Amino acid sequence: MHQDLKAFYQTLVEEKVFDSAPEDTVSRLAVLFPQEVCFSTSFSMEDQVITDLLKNSDVKIFTLDTGRLFEETYNTWTLTNSKYQRSIKAYYPDQNELEPFVQERGPDSFYTSVENRKQCCHIRKVQPLKRALQGNKVWITGLRAEHSPDRENLLQLEWDESNQIIKYHPLLYWTTEDVKNYIRKHDIPYNILHDKGFLSIGCAPCTRAIQPGEDFRAGRWWWEDANKKECGLHVHK
């Protein structure tokens, strides 16, 4: 089945199905894969734009609640449910994995080593994501090329070998100003931390505001080497 999907992905690339406007591409993907298209939101500005683009579609929307999110993120989640009159499905860490990890290594062990941080991300994000993606053939994300050098060469439609799923990045080539303009124009709720210097917003203990001139993701895991700034959700090869 996965080989068939991968082959079909190649057909979509050849047909340049992603060359149209995001709304049109999403509509086509929803027709090709009914009830098998999902979108993962972290309630970032770009994800809020995509939620608005999906408001008239039946694409499933989910989020990963790590248990360590900012209160402002939960507030954005509540406002989003209210505006779009839909309940965004949450996926949580497996307690059978999380509880022993915290007990053995402590609640803030991610500060002590890259290994511990990656294991924390794996339990709180990667494993719940794999459950969320089950039964789906297309995963829509809010990745943008400006986010990091690793994302500059991404295709809008790509094959995710790790999760055996087609990924679509509708805002890949949007600028930050494009995103902000859309937010303002459509009066979309967004995380107010963005107004306080937070660009990439993840878990509260692992995210800080950035300073002028710093890289987009400098505020994530700032105590680590700059080349290790990924949590494992998006594996680029």
**Identity of the amino acid at 170:** P
* Catalytic-residue membership of 121: no
Rg of the chain over Cα atoms, rounded to whole angstroms, equals 18
Q: Give the pLDDT confidence of 30-86 residue by residue, as tens digits.
A: 999 999 999 999 999 999 999 999 999 999 999 999 999 999 999 999 999 999 998
Q: What is the Cα–Cα distance from 66 to 7, expressed in whole angstroms? A: 34
pLDDT at 126: 96
Question: What pLDDT does 146 receive?
Answer: 86
Q: What is the pLDDT of residue 2?
A: 57
Quick: pLDDT tens for 124-166: 999 999 999 999 999 999 999 988 767 777 889 999 999 999 9
Q: What is the mean pLDDT of the chain?
A: 91
Contact criterion met (CB below 8 Å) for 75 and 209:
no
pTM of the model: 0.91
Instruction: Out of 121, 203, 206, 231, pick the active-site residue.
Output: 231
Q: In this predicted structure, what is the pLDDT of residue 204?
A: 96
pLDDT class for 234, splitting at 50, 70, 90? low
Cα 187–Cα 191–Cα 57 angle in degrees, nearest 5: 55
pLDDT value, residue 87: 87
Domains of the chain: 2-189 (3.40.50.620)
Mean pLDDT, range 103-128, rounded to an integer: 96
